[in-house]
Chains A and B, each alone.
Chain A
Amino acid sequence: QEAGRLTGLKLDGDKPIQIESDHLEVRENDGVAIFTGNVSVVQGPTLLRSGKMTVHYNTEGGSATTGSADIDRLEVEGKVYVKSETQVATGDSGSFDMRSEVLVLSGKEVVLTEGDNVVVGCRLTVQMSTGLATLDGCGKQQGGSGGRVKMLLKPGSQNR
């Protein structure tokens, strides 16, 4: 397990989220809004791109179509790309829980880059409110490289 300070990837509570896509289907009874086709989500400096994003509303209170329900969690899949001011993370699928503000990015190869430093693993978990990120190797799930995280540090980058 590799824990590191990931200052960039963080949600600012006070900025609106802009979502764009080719297609959006809001299904009230299932309490979901499904964005498909070039989905891009922007909030302040943070950008998320994926092929599909499903917004799950908690429907006890309001309803999805009338928009009065609060957002419970977002699920993204299809070439997920998350970028913040300093870091870029890519993976196959991800989810972001609004309550705990935890972003989980997983896939055969989750790559986290900051400048020239590259870290590769299978599961990146970011606590968005603090930016604390942990990257797990792939061993546990698919028996890949024995659960190790590959990290490439460019010499001289540490005194930045």
Chain B
Amino acid sequence: MTISSAQQPTGTARRTAATPSAQESRVEEAFSRARRHSGRVRFLKLTLPVVAVLMVAAFVAKSWLATPEGVSVELGSTAIEGGRLVMSDPKLDGFTRDNRPYNMTAERAIQDIGNASKIDLEGIAAKLPLDDDNWVTVAAKSGVLDRDANTLGLDSDITFTTDTGIHALLRSAVVDMASGKLETSDPVDIMLDGARIEADSMRISEKGAVMVFENRVRMEIDAKRLQTAANAEGDTANGGTNEN
């Protein structure tokens, strides 16, 4: 390996004329320092990107592992925007306490890098167990999912439809998926088959078995609903015709 004179550090030239061997050792020493330096550079050039990649992988893994074992998160494409992790069309599946599955998809999920448990969701569509064998599908513009507490806070217009024919419009709601509770202090409008309930606040608990409405409760029951009850007995009791 030839060393061209240009590389010699200029510093040594000004010293007193040392013996040739001292001069050589100084040159030798300067050269080895340079070589070590470039070795270090080469080493760093290689390791830094690898470390960066490892860190990102560790972050994704950590947020993956941080979810309660019942919840699996499938991320569409992931991007970092303004220090926040933006996932497009994520799918999330979880289990309630009596391990009935619920699943949720969103158009976008945005998560602070440091805080894996809270996810802002946009364009939410969820299917949650209502009671033992009924389901409720939820569609909402936006909300926040708290994975530790297993709750979904919805802060804009929401529609709930159950497979038993209930169609509910709410303005906000907090859904506790683990214990099957839902609460809202904004007006609700619930359309059942042949009846309609409106109120300014609502609490659903015991997985849909108990619904409590408060503040200006208004319920309307269609006439056809009364007919069926009356006719069921009407023909025997009084000929069933309303003569007056």
| A contacts, CB < 8 Å to B | 7, 10-29, 35, 62-63, 65-68, 70-72, 98-101, 127, 129-131
Q: How many A-B pairs with Cβ below 8 Å?
A: 126
Interchain CB contact under 8 A, B244 and A7: yes
The interface residues of chain A lying within 8 Å CB-to-CB of B53 are: none
Secondary structure call for the B interface: mixed
Interchain CB contact under 8 A, B244 and A131: yes
The interface residues of chain A lying within 8 Å CB-to-CB of B214 are: 22-24
Known A66-B134, A67-B193: A20·B218 in contact at CB below 8 Å: yes
Interchain CB contact under 8 A, B225 and A70: yes
Q: How far is the CA of A13 from the CA of B226 in the complex (A)?
A: 7
Distance in Å from the Cβ of B104 to the closest Cβ of chain A? 23
User: 8 Å CB contacts to A: which residues of B227-244?
Assistant: 227-230, 232-234, 237-238, 242-244
Ordered by A's residue number, 14 sampled pairs between the chains whose C-beta atoms are within 8 Å are A14-B223, A14-B227, A18-B220, A20-B218, A23-B213, A28-B131, A65-B166, A65-B209, A66-B192, A67-B166, A98-B226, A127-B238, A129-B244, A130-B238
Q: How far is the CA of A27 from the CA of B209 in the complex (A)?
A: 6
Interchain CB contact under 8 A, A26 and B210: yes
Known A63-B164, A99-B232: A71·B225 in contact at CB below 8 Å: yes
Residue of A whose beta carbon sits closest to that of B199: A24
Does B197 belong to the interface (CB within 8 Å)?
yes
Contacts A23-B214, A26-B211, A26-B213 aside, 16 further interface pairs with beta carbons under 8 A come to A7-B244, A17-B221, A19-B219, A20-B219, A25-B211, A28-B209, A29-B209, A63-B164, A65-B131, A66-B162, A66-B164, A66-B165, A68-B164, A98-B230, A98-B233, A130-B238
Pick the 3 closest A-B CB pairs, nearest first. A67-B192, A99-B233, A66-B164
The interface residues of chain A lying within 8 Å CB-to-CB of B210 are: 25-28
Q: How far is the CA of A127 from the CA of B242 in the complex (A)?
A: 11
Distance in Å from the Cβ of B22 to the closest Cβ of chain A? 98
Does B195 belong to the interface (CB within 8 Å)?
yes
Known A7-B244, A24-B219, A130-B243: A70·B213 in contact at CB below 8 Å: no
Does B65 belong to the interface (CB within 8 Å)?
no
Interchain CB contact under 8 A, B195 and A67: yes
Residue of A whose beta carbon sits closest to that of B192: A67
Q: How far is the CA of A21 from the CA of B218 in the complex (A)?
A: 7
Distance in Å from the Cβ of A53 to the closest Cβ of chain B? 10
User: B144-166: contact bitstring with A at CB < 8 Å (1 yes, 0 no)?
Assistant: 00000000000000000010111
